[in-house]
């Protein structure tokens, strides 16, 4: 199968641009090479209606209405599928901040469950997000984008203190405890956290473009398994800033280990779309990218509350019917958490399980205190110590 990818909403490192709060990546997915087999067909459809090329933002609804019936017939003929990934930029900032300060492998004072059990991680991340002001978020992002490590580390105490000033706004005592313990240690040990990466391409990894691309690869892997067809090629719209990073991430994921990684409550496999190739192309040279561009544009008009005319609505309905969607946003991820919590809350927890949970929490707290003390002795982070065992109350 083949994937033709376009994106919209790129503001680079200006992640707080109010005019573009979201970043989108969209893909046309076909079982055969759409460009090779249907480029002439799409060009003929455009010529029939006196359209130079299929660039939706330039055309607007009028010309799109003219070509909609012919284009829809083509999509049905090739049994096209679509994938759309949305990244809400402010949610991205919140998750980056949480990963920076609450990673129990990097911060020995961080609660292990609140980082390694996905549903608990997301719940506390959402809570922390509620006490982040615009000023805190901007200062944190400037830390990630800092040009040298000294400047970046100098910002850590101020960021932590600013969040700690708002901790009392959290609704429950346990969350206040966990957040306070974690941020106090980070504030007092700015030298310890792994917060700085040098070079523009490395910093690109923080950007919504790359998060959306990783989600896209995950979605393409899902379609590949559903169709029982390997992905042969990804053709991505050309854009210079992230071109090298996209190619590197494709190489990294497609060549990663296929062994499953078991985490509490979930199993993940890092390898995505193995054996596929990645290339960039201008939209003028790729019929598939032009179709992906149209699908993305219509999707954004829908999200903006625009009334779509009949032909455009028919194309978007096909995209919804034959498409897959990944929503990396407060609402999208929040819906997943609520669904998971409903499953958990509907089950009775036997007393012995409650007691086992209490004992585990006590053991983890002893280990947390042990790791804090050991760092003061040798300066090693938890992830540098190799396999760890829970320490009993009799251990040093």
Establish how many alpha carbons lie within 13 A of residue 390's alpha carbon, considering only the half-sphere containing its beta carbon.
Answer: 11
Rg (CA), the chain: 24
Mean pLDDT (whole number) for 246-250: 94
Q: How many CB atoms lie within 10 A of CB 118?
A: 16
* Euclidean distance between CA atoms 48 and 39, whole angstroms: 14
Instruction: Please check the confidence at residue 395 and state whether its pLDDT lies above 60.
Output: no
Q: Given this model, what pLDDT does residue 353 score?
A: 86
- State how far Cα 243 lies from the chain centre: 18
Q: Which of 1-5, 197-201, 244-248, 368-372 has the lowest mean pLDDT?
A: 197-201
Q: Given this model, what pLDDT does residue 302 score?
A: 94
Instruction: Please check the confidence at residue 35 and state whether its pLDDT lies above 80.
Output: yes
Task: Say whether 327 sits in a helix, a strand or coil.
Answer: strand
* Euclidean distance between CA atoms 295 and 239, whole angstroms: 19
Instruction: Please check the confidence at residue 79 and state whether its pLDDT lies above 70.
Output: yes
Q: Is 12 left (phi over 0), alpha (psi -120 to 50) or beta?
A: left
Dihedral, CA of residue 83, residue 89, residue 91 and residue 93, to nearest 10: 130
**Strand 22-30 and strand 323-328: pairing?**
unpaired
Q: Given this model, what pLDDT does residue 346 score?
A: 83
Q: Given this model, what pLDDT does residue 344 score?
A: 77
Are 48 and 73 in contact by the 8 Å Cβ rule? The answer is: no
The tokens of 363 are what?
Answer: 């053991």
Instruction: Please check the confidence at residue 127 and state whether its pLDDT lies above 50.
Output: yes
The tokens of 210 are what?
Answer: 């790359």
* Euclidean distance between CA atoms 225 and 368, whole angstroms: 41
Q: Given this model, what pLDDT does residue 343 score?
A: 81
Helix (H) or strand (E) holding 325: strand 323-328
- CATH architecture of the domain formed by 2-85+202-329: 2-Layer Sandwich (3.30)
Task: List every span in the chain annotated with CATH 3.30.420.
Answer: 2-85+202-329
Instruction: Please check the confidence at residue 394 and state whether its pLDDT lies above 50.
Output: no
* Euclidean distance between CA atoms 182 and 283, whole angstroms: 47
pLDDT band at residue 46 under the 50/70/90 scheme: very high
pLDDT digits (tens, 9 = 90+) for 156-194: 999 999 999 999 999 999 999 999 999 999 999 999 988
Cα angle value 63/234/86 (rounded, 5°): 65
Most confidently predicted of 80-84, 262-266, 302-306: 80-84
pTM, two decimal places: 0.91
* Euclidean distance between CA atoms 36 and 168, whole angstroms: 60
* Euclidean distance between CA atoms 108 and 112, whole angstroms: 9
The tokens of 70 are what?
Answer: 């012919």
């Amino acid at each position: 199968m083949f994937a033709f990818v376009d994106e919209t909403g790129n503001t680079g490192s200006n992640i707080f641009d109010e005019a573009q709060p979201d970043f989108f990546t969209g893909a046309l997915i076909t079982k055969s090479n759409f460009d090779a087999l249907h480029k002439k067909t799409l060009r003929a459809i455009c010529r029939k209606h006196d359209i130079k090329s299929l660039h939706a933002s330039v055309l607007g609804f009028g010309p799109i209405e003219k070509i909609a019936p012919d284009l829809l017939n083509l999509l049905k003929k090739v049994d096209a599928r679509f994938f759309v990934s949305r990244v809400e930029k402010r949610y991205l900032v919140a998750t980056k901040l949480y990963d920076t300060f609450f990673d129990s492998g990097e911060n020995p004072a961080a609660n292990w469950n609140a980082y390694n059990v996905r549903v608990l991680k997301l719940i506390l991340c959402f809570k922390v997000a509620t006490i982040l002001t615009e000023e805190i978020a901007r200062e944190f992002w400037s830390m990630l984008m800092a040009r040298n490590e000294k400047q970046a580390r100098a910002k850590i105490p101020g960021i932590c203190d600013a969040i700690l000033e708002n901790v009392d706004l959290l609704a429950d005592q346990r969350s206040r405890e966990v957040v306070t313990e974690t941020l106090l240690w980070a504030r007092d040990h700015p030298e310890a956290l792994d917060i700085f990466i040098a070079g523009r391409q490395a910093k690109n990894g923080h950007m919504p473009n790359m998060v959306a691309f990783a989600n896209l690869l995950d979605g393409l892997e899902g379609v590949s398994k559903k169709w029982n067809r390997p992905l042969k090629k990804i053709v991505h719209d050309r854009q210079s800033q992230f071109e090298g990073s996209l190619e590197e991430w494709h190489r990294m994921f497609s060549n990663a280990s296929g062994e499953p990684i078991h985490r509490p409550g979930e199993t993940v496999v890092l390898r995505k779309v193995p054996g596929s190739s990645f290339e960039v192309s201008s939209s003028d040279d790729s019929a598939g990218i032009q179709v992906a561009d149209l699908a993305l544009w219509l999707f954004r008009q829908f999200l903006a509350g625009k009334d779509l005319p009949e032909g455009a609505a028919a194309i978007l309905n096909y995209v919804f019917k034959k498409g897959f969607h990944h929503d990396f946003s407060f609402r999208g991820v929040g819906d997943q958490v609520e669904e998971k919590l409903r499953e958990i809350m509907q089950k009775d927890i036997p007393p012995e399980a409650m007691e086992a949970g209490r004992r585990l929490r006590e053991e983890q707290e002893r280990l947390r205190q042990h790791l804090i003390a050991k760092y003061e002795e040798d300066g090693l982070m938890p992830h540098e110590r190799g396999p760890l065992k829970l320490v009993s109350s009799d251990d040093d």
